[in-house]
Chain A
Amino acid sequence: MTLNGWLQILVFCGIVLVLVKPLGAYMTRVFSGERTILSPVLVPIERGLYALAGTSERESQHWTAYAFALLMFNLFGTLVLYLLLRFQDILPLNPAGMAAVPPELSFNTAVSFVSNTNWQNYGGESTMSYLTQMAGFTVQNFLSAATGMAIAIGLIRAFSGASGTSGTVGLSGKKTIGNFWVDMARGTLYVLLPACILLTLVYVWLGVPQTFGPYVEATTIEGARQTIAVGPVASQLAIKMLGTNGGGFFNANSAHPFENPDNISNMIQMVSIFAIGAAFTNVFGRMVGNQRQGWAILAAMGLLFITGVGVVYWAEASGNPFMHQLGLMGGNMEGKETRFGIAMSSLFAVITTAASCGAVNAMHGSFTALGGLIPLINMQLGEVIVGGVGAGFYGIVLFIIIAIFVAGLMVGRTPEYLGKKIEAKEMKMAVLAILCLPLAMLIFTAIATVLPSAVASIGTAGPHGFSEILYAYTSAAANNGSAFGGLTGNTPWYNVTLGLSMLMGRFLVIIPALAIAGSLIAKKTVPASAGTFPTDGPLFVGLLVGTILIVGGLTFMPALALGPVVEHLVMIAGQTF
C-alpha cells in the first residue's frame, strides 16, 4: 500500500461526499415536483409523456397499483429487449452483421438489463449490433435505474408522509405512495438524462469513441490486419456508471482503453457509480425533515465501504507469497491494468460490488483470495453499501427495519423508525426480502456444484472454482453483473438459472419493499420524545453495521469458508489451483 494510493482513495471519498448535498437537494426538488433549473425545458416534455400514458401528476397510487405498473412496465421492457436480440440480424444499425442471439442467451441478457444486473454472457463487440446496444441496452440502463429510484422514493414517502403528488388522503392517513409513471419520468428526465449528456461529452473529450461508423480496419507494424471495434461507446458508458448498470460496450468493460482511457476517466466513472446512491441518503434526510438521519445511514455505508477497501487494497498490495519466493516482489498485478495500478483497481472492485454496478476495470477472478472475498461479501450483504441507484437505499431500509426491530425494544418501546411503528406486516415483508437473496445465491450454487455439466464450466479447480460459481449466482441475485472470470456462463443451464436468480433478486425485493411503503404510509407518525430510539447518531450507525454483518452476512459463512477463505489458507500453506 502506498500513500499515493490512499490519497487517491481519499480524493474519491471526498468528491462523493461533496456531491451528496447538492445532488440530494436537487433530487429532493425533482421528486417532490418542485421547480428546478431544468423545468422550463422539461415540463412540456413531462406533460406530454403523462398525456401519452393517460396519467397525471395529481394522481397518486396505492402501493399495489404502483407495484403493478412497475411490474407491467418491466415485463414489457423485457419482451421488447428479448425481441430486439432475437431479430437483430434483420434490424437496422448492424454494420458488423451480427447474427440473431440464441433464445437462452436472449432471455438471460434481456432479464439482465431490465433487472439492472447487466450480467453479460456474451462479448459486446462480437455479439451485439449498434441498435441492440443503443435501443436495447442503453434504454434499459436508463429505465432500470429510474425504476430503482422510483421504488426508493416511494419508500421514502412512507416515512416522510408526503405523497409526491396532491394525492388522496384516506381517513386513517395517506394511502398512496406516489405515481410510478411520474417518478419514472422525473428520474429519467431530470436526473439521469442531463447528467449522462454531460458525462458523455466528457468521456468523448477524454477519448472514448462515439460513432455509428463500422469497425476500423488497421494494419499493425508487423503487417498483421486488425479489426478495431468502435461504436456509440461514450453514451452507453455514461449511463452504465451513473445508473449502476455495469454492462460494458466491450467485453473487457472498463478495463478496455476505449471504455476507460485514463485515470481521470477512471475517477469520473467511480464517482458516478456512487453519486446518486450516496445522494439518496440525503434525499431521505431532507424528505423526513432531518438530514442527520441520512448522514447516519451514509456513515454506516461508509464504514463498511472503507473497511472493504482497506482489506482489498492490503490483500492486493501484499500479493502472492509464491511470486515473492520466485523473486517477483510487489503486489498482485495479475488481471490489472497498469494505467490504474493496485490502488485504483482495488477501489474500483469494492465500489462496483458495493454499489450493484458490476462494471470492472480489473479481473476480479485474478484477485488474491481475500481480495476476491470482499466483493463477494459486498454483494451477499445485498449491496446496501451505497448500493444501486435507489436499490441500495431500499435495501438498507430493510436492514434498518430489522435492526430497529431487534434492538429498538431495548429502549422499552415497541420498535419504531422515524415515528412509524414496525409491526408484523413490515417484519414479514422485510424478512421475505432478505430471505430471497440467500435463497437465490445458495440454492443455485448448491445445485450447480454437484451438477457435472455446471461444474464443467468452471475455469479453475478447487476452492477457486467454487468461488467462480458462488460469485456468478451472488452477482446475479444481487443484480450486480460483475463476473469472477473463468466460468463459462453462456450455457443453457447458466443462462436460465442466472436469469432466474436475477429476477428473484430484483423483484422479490422490490415487491416487499413497496408493500412496506404502503403499510407505513397509512400509519400515524408517533412524535419523537426523549424515550424514542435515536436514529441519527453513532450508536445507530454501529447497530446498523452490526445487523448488516450478522443478519446479512452470517448466512454465507459456510460458503465463504469453503471458497475464498480456504483458498487463502491453502495458498499460505503453499498450494495453488
Chain B
Amino acid sequence: MSQSKSASIMDSRILVPAVGAAFAKLDPRTLSRNPVMFVVATVSVLTTVLFLRDLILGGENLGFSLQINIWLWFTVLFANFAEAVAEGRGKAQAESLRRTRTETQAKLLTGSDRTQYKQVPGTSLKVNDVVLVEAGDIIPSDGEVIEGVASVNEAAITGESAPVIRESGGDRSAVTGGTQVLSDWIRVRITAAAGSTFIDRMISLVEGAERQKTPNEIALNILLAGMTLIFVLATATIPSFASYAGGSIPIIVLVALFVTLIPTTIGALLSAIGIAGMDRLVRFNVLAMSGRAVEAAGDVDTLLLDKTGTITLGNRQATSFRPVRGVSEQDLADAAQLASLADETPEGRSIVVLAKEQYAIRGRDMAGLKATFVPFTAQTRMSGVDLDGSQIRKGAVDAVLSYVEPGAPALAGNAMIAARPQSDVVGELQAIAEEIAKAGSTPLAVARDGKLLGVIQLKDIVKGGIRERFAELRRMGIRTVMITGDNPMTAAAIAAEAGVDDFLAQATPENKLSLIREEQAKGKLVAMCGDGTNDAPALAQADVGVAMNTGTVAAREAGNMVDLDSDPTKLIEIVEIGKQLLMTRGALTTFSIANDIAKYFAIIPAMFLAFYPQLGVLNIMGLATPQSAILSAIIFNALIIIALIPLSLRGVKYRAVGAGALLSRNLLIYGLGGILVPFIGIKAIDVVITAIGLA
C-alpha cells in the first residue's frame, strides 16, 4: 500500500464488478439510505407500472415513455454505480490486507512463571493472554511487547519492507497481528480479541462496511430532502394549474420534470465523495477511524507539530567549533573528533564529518592509539575517549563543567590556559554556550584532561521548504504551533527560523493537553500527532489525533487516525485531504442546484406548449420538439452523474490561496458553470437524439 499504488478510475478490475454492484444496490434497504435516489427509484417504479399498463391496454407515445423510463432507471443505476466504483477501490485494498490474516499458530505461554508454551490457533487467543513469538513466527494478534526485542517486518500493513524494531517498554512496544518477527524473540501480551484487531478494523474501514454518515453529510441530506419536497410541491400542483388553463400534463412528463429538478447529481455522488475521501487518506497510508475525523481535518484551525522530525530533520548536526580563547579551532576539532570516533549517534558522526571537511582531520587507526572509549550514560551525560593517558570528554555544558571543576589538577599542557584562572574560562564557555542556545542550537562542551577547550555547535536543521509550507498553512487560515522539549530560548530561535506561528517549549504531556484545551475553549479545532503512551490523553483530546503506527497501543487507541508510515509531516496533507473532501461536496451541491435553471427552460415550454403555444419563446435553447426537450433534459440529468464520477473520486483541487479567492474561483466554476453547462449539454443531446430519430 504505497502512495503510488492508486487504483485508476478506469481500472476494469473495479469497473466490471461495480456494474454488477449497481444492480445489487437497487435493494430498497440500501436505497433508503439515500433519500434523493430513493425518491427517484420510487417514481421510476410508478412510471414503469404506468408504462406497462399502457403497453397492455394500448396508449400513446409508448416509445417516448419507454425512453423516459429507461433514463429514470439509469439515473438510479448511475448513482449506485458511482458508489460502487468508490467502494471498489477500497475493496481492492481490503483484499490484499485479508491475505495477511491467514490462520496462524500461537505459542501461548502457560504456567505461573510462563516458561512453558503450548501451540494454539491464533483465533483462540483472548485479551491478556501472553504469547511467545520467535524469529520466523507471525505475530498472532495485536499486542504489546512485555519482554524482549525483535526486528519485525510490518510490510503487511505499511507496505514498507525494511524491518522495524519492537521492544518492551518505551514508545515502540506495540505489535500488530499479521506482521512477522524476523530475528530474536519477544513476549507479547495480547490486546485485541480475534475479529477486532487492527487489520480487521482496517479492512472494514477501507471497504466502507462501517461507513456512517458524517455530521455534515447528515445536514446536507436534510437540505437535499427538503429541496426534493419543495419540488414535489412545485410539480404536484402543476396538473391543477394546467386544468385551470384547460390542458393536461401526462404523468411521465411531470415525473421527468420532477426528477430533473431535484438535486440528483449531488444525491447520487454524495456517498462516493465520502468514500473517496477516506480512500485518499488510505493511499497516503493514513487510516481514519471515522469519516467524522476526515471532516474535522478540513476544519482544523491549529496544528500542533512536533519539532523533531516534522519541522527539523530528526537529528542535530555539528556546524561549528567554538574554542575558548587560547585554544585553536584545530585543537578543539581534533579533540572533538577523537571523542566522537566511536560515537555512533548521528550527532557524533556529524562531528567527525565536520572535522574532516573543515579541518581535514582524517580518521585514525584506533587500535594504534590504544584508545578506550567511554560511552554515554544517563548519569554522566558525557561520552569520550581515554588514550595515551589523556582523557577527552564531550557532553552537555553543565555536565562537562561539573566534571572539570572538582579539584582539577593543573596539568598544564598549555601555558596560556594555566595562566588564566579556571572560572574565567568557565565564564567564557558559558557565554559561548548561551550564544549558541539563543541561535536555536545545542552547545556541546569539550574538555581534555580537565581543561575546557570549547564548544561544539549542534544545530537543528530546519527542513527545506517547511517555511513555505507554514506560510501556505497561514494562508489557509491555520495556525501552527511547534511542540518541543527544548528550552524556550532554543525553541524561539527555531520557531523563528521555521516560520511557525507559536511554540510550546519544554513541552510535557500535561502542558500539551492544556494547550489543546485552551485552543478548543477559544472555539478552535486542533490537530496533532503523537506516538507515546503519554501522548494518549492529548491525542484523545485533539479533534484530529494522528497516532504513529510505530507508537504504543494506548496512543493508537486514543487517536482517530493512524499514520502507517509514522511520518508526522503528513498532518499537513491530512488537513488538505479533509478540505478537499468538503470542497468537492460543496462544489457538486452548488453545481447540482444551479443546473435547475436550464432544466426549467427545457421542460416548461415543452410541457405547456399544447395549451399556451406562446410559451414557446421560453424555449431559448431552440430544442426540436417538446418530446426531445424533455428527453434531452432527463438524459443530461443522468449522464452528468457519470461525467462527474471522476471528479467526485479525485476531488476538487485545494489551493492555499485564502478563503475569498478560493470561493470566487469555485463559485465561478461550479456556480456559474452549473448554470451554463446544462444549457449546452441539453442542446447537444437534443441535436443528437433528433438526428438519430429517438424523438
Cβ of B475 within 8 Å of any chain A Cβ, yes or no, is yes
Question: Is A527 close to B, CB under 8 A?
Answer: yes
Question: Are A550 and B593 within 8 A (Cβ)?
Answer: yes
Nearest Cβ in chain A — how far from B20, in angstroms? 32
| Cβ contacts B656-667/A at 8 Å (1 or 0 each) | 001110111011
Contact present for B659 and A533 (CB under 8 Å): yes
**B615 in contact with A409 (CB, 8 Å):** no
Q: Considering the complex, give the chain B residue whose CB is closest to the CB of A573.
A: B614
Residue of A442, A449, A531, A537 touching B476 (CB-CB under 8 A): A531
Contact of B612 among A533, A539, A570 (CB under 8 A): A570
When the two chains form the complex, which single residue of B242, B578, B590, B608 contacts A406, counting CB atoms closer than 8 Å?
Answer: B590
Residue of B nearest to A563 (CB): B241
Do A559 and B667 contact each other (CB < 8 Å), given the known contacts A406-B223, A423-B215, A532-B477? no
Q: Within A531-555, which residues are at the interface with B (CB < 8 Å)?
A: 531-534, 537, 539, 542-543, 546, 550-551, 554-555
Is B135 an interface residue when CB atoms closer than 8 A count as contact?
no
Asked if B155 is at the interface of the complex by the 8 Å CB criterion, the answer is no
Q: Which of B94-102, B422-430, B594-602 contacts A (4 or more CB under 8 A)?
A: B594-602
Pairwise interchain contact A410-B666, C-beta atoms closer than 8 A? yes
Nearest CB of A to B372, in Å: 59
Question: Looking across the interface, which residue of chain A has its beta carbon closest to that of B257?
Answer: A558
Q: For this complex, into which size category does the number of interface residues on chain B fall?
A: 35 or more
Q: Contact partner of A446 among B220, B240, B583, CB < 8 A?
A: B240
Pick the contact of A412: B215, B231, B301, B579 (CB < 8 A).
B579
Minimal Cβ-Cβ distance residue in B for A534: B660
> How far is it, in angstroms, between the C-alpha of A44 and the C-alpha of B614 when the chains are bound?
66
Known contacts A410-B583, A531-B477, A558 near B604 by CB under 8 Å: yes
Assess the A409–B523 pair: CB atoms within 8 A: no
Interface of chain B residues 39 through 89 with chain A (CB within 8 A): none
- What mask results when residues 545 to 577 of chain A are scored 1 for a CB within 8 Å of chain B, else 0? 010001100111111011001100110110000
A422 to B671, CA, bound (A): 21
* CA distance in complex: A463, B523 (Å): 55
Closest to B600 in A: A557
Chain B residues closer than 8 Å to A402, beta-carbon distance:
223
Given A435, A463, A527, which contacts B524 in the complex, CB threshold below 8 Å?
Answer: A527
A431 partner residues in chain B, CB cutoff 8 A = 222-223, 225-227
A201 at interface, CB cutoff 8 A: no
Which of chain B's residues 550-603 have a Cβ closer than 8 Å to chain A?
A: 578-580, 582-583, 585-587, 589-590, 593-594, 596-597, 600
Cβ B662 vs Cβ A412 within 8 A: yes
Known: A530-B659, A569-B614. A562 touches B241 (CB 8 A): yes
Within the complex, the shortest CB–CB distance from A102 to chain B, in Å, comes to 28
Q: Once the chains bind, are A455 and B226 in contact (CB under 8 Å)?
A: no
* Contact (Cβ within 8 A) A555 B231: yes
Complex CA gap A576/B479 in Å reads 67
A446 CA to B242 CA in the complex, in Å? 10
A537 to B476, CA, bound (A): 18
A139 on the B face (CB < 8 A)? no
Say whether B390 faces chain A, with CB atoms less than 8 Å apart: no
A530 touches B476 (CB 8 A): yes
Q: Which residues of B contact A426 (CB under 8 A)?
A: 219
Check A566 against B301 for contact (C-beta < 8 Å): no
When distances are taken between beta carbons in the complex, the residues of chain B under 8 Å from A466 are: 241, 244-245
Question: What residues of chain A lie closer than 8 Å to B600, measured between beta carbons?
Answer: 554, 557
Using C-beta atoms within 8 Å of the partner chain, give the interface range for chain A.
35 or more
- Whether A408 touches B614, Cβ cut-off 8 Å, given contacts A402-B223, A439-B233, is no
- Supposing A424-B218, A431-B226, A557-B604 touch, asked if A411 and B659 sit within 8 A by C-beta, the answer is yes
**Chain A neighbourhood of B234, CB < 8 A:** 438, 442, 554-558
**Contact present for B586 and A406 (CB under 8 Å):** yes
B604 touches A412 (CB 8 A): no
Closest to B575 in A: A412
Residue A324 lies at the interface, judged by CB distance under 8 Å to chain B: no
C-alpha spacing A435/B237, complex, angstroms: 14
The answer to whether the Cβ of A445 comes within 8 Å of any Cβ in the partner chain is yes
Bound Cα distance from A527 to B477, whole angstroms: 10
Instruction: Identify which of residues 639-667 in chain B touch chain A, using a CB-to-CB cut-off of 8 Å.
Output: 652, 654, 658-660, 662-664, 666-667
Cβ of A339 within 8 Å of any chain B Cβ, yes or no, is no
Contacts of B597 in A (CB 8 A): 550, 554
Complex-state Cα separation, A270 to B583, whole angstroms: 43
**Dominant SS at the B interface?**
helix
Choose among B241, B474, B523, B525 the residue that contacts A558 (Cβ–Cβ < 8 A).
B241
Which positions 340-363 of chain B face chain A at CB distance < 8 Å?
none
Question: Is B443 in contact with chain A by the CB < 8 A criterion?
Answer: no
Contact between B218 and A524 (Cβ–Cβ < 8 Å)? Answer: no
Dominant SS among interface residues on chain A: helix
**B589 close to A406 (CB less than 8 A):** yes
Chain B's closest residue to A525 (CB) is B523
Q: Which residue among A406, A446, A525, A572 has the maximum number of chain B CB atoms within 10 Å of its CB?
A: A406
The answer for the CA separation of A550 and B593 in the assembled complex, in Å, is 8
Answer whether A450 and B478 are a contact pair too, CB < 8 Å, given A409-B585, A561-B608.
no
Chain B residues positioned under 8 Å from A415 (CB to CB) = 216
A45 contacts chain B at the CB level, 8 A cutoff: no
Task: Give chain A interface residues in 397-415, CB to chain B under 8 Å.
Answer: 402, 405-415
Answer whether A450 and B244 are a contact pair too, CB < 8 Å, given A408-B586, A413-B299, A531-B659: yes
Task: Give the Cβ gap from B97 to chain A, nearest Cβ, in Å.
Answer: 30
How long is the Cα–Cα vector from A530 to B660 in the complex, in angstroms? 8
B238 CB-CB contact with A under 8 Å:
yes
Interface residue A443 (Cβ < 8 Å from any Cβ of B): yes
Inter-chain contact A407/B477, CB cutoff 8 Å: no
Contact indicator A532/B226 (Cβ below 8 Å): no
Which of A405, A422, A426 is packed against the most chain B CB atoms within 10 Å? Answer: A405
Indicate if the CB atoms of B478 and A529 lie closer than 8 Å.
Answer: yes
Residue of B nearest to A431 (CB): B226
A5 within 8 A of B: no
Whether B243 is near chain A, meaning CB under 8 Å from some CB there, is: yes
Specify which chain A residues have a CB less than 8 angstroms from the CB of B664 in the assembled complex. 539
Please indicate the chain A residues that have their CB under 8 angstroms from the CB of B587 in the complex: 409-410
- Within 8 Å by CB of B475, from A455, A530, A551, A565, lies A530
Do A424 and B604 touch across chains, with their CB atoms under 8 A apart? Answer: no
Please give the distance in Å from A368's CB to the nearest CB on chain B: 16
A22–B220 alpha-carbon span in the complex (Å)? 40
CB-CB under 8 A from A570, the residues of chain B are 612, 614
Whether the pair B593, A551 counts as a contact (CB closer than 8 A) is yes
Is B420 part of the contact surface with A, judged by Cβ < 8 Å? no
Task: Tell me, rounded to whole Å, the shortest Cβ–Cβ distance linking A161 to chain B.
Answer: 11
Q: Are B227 and A551 in contact (CB under 8 A)?
A: yes
Q: A449-B240, A546-B671 known; A526 and B301 CB under 8 Å? A: yes
Q: Chain B's nearest CB lies how many Å from the CB of A369? A: 11
- Shortest C-beta distance, A40 to chain B (Å), equals 40
- A524's nearest neighbour on chain B, judged by CB, is B523
State the CA gap A539–B594 with chains docked (Å). Answer: 16
Supply 9 further A-B pairs (C-beta < 8 A) apart from A407-B590, A407-B667, A410-B583.
A408-B586, A410-B666, A411-B663, A411-B666, A445-B241, A530-B658, A531-B478, A532-B659, A566-B612
Which 10 interchain pairs have the tightest Cβ spacing?
A: A531-B477, A409-B586, A412-B579, A431-B226, A529-B477, A569-B614, A446-B237, A530-B477, A446-B240, A410-B586
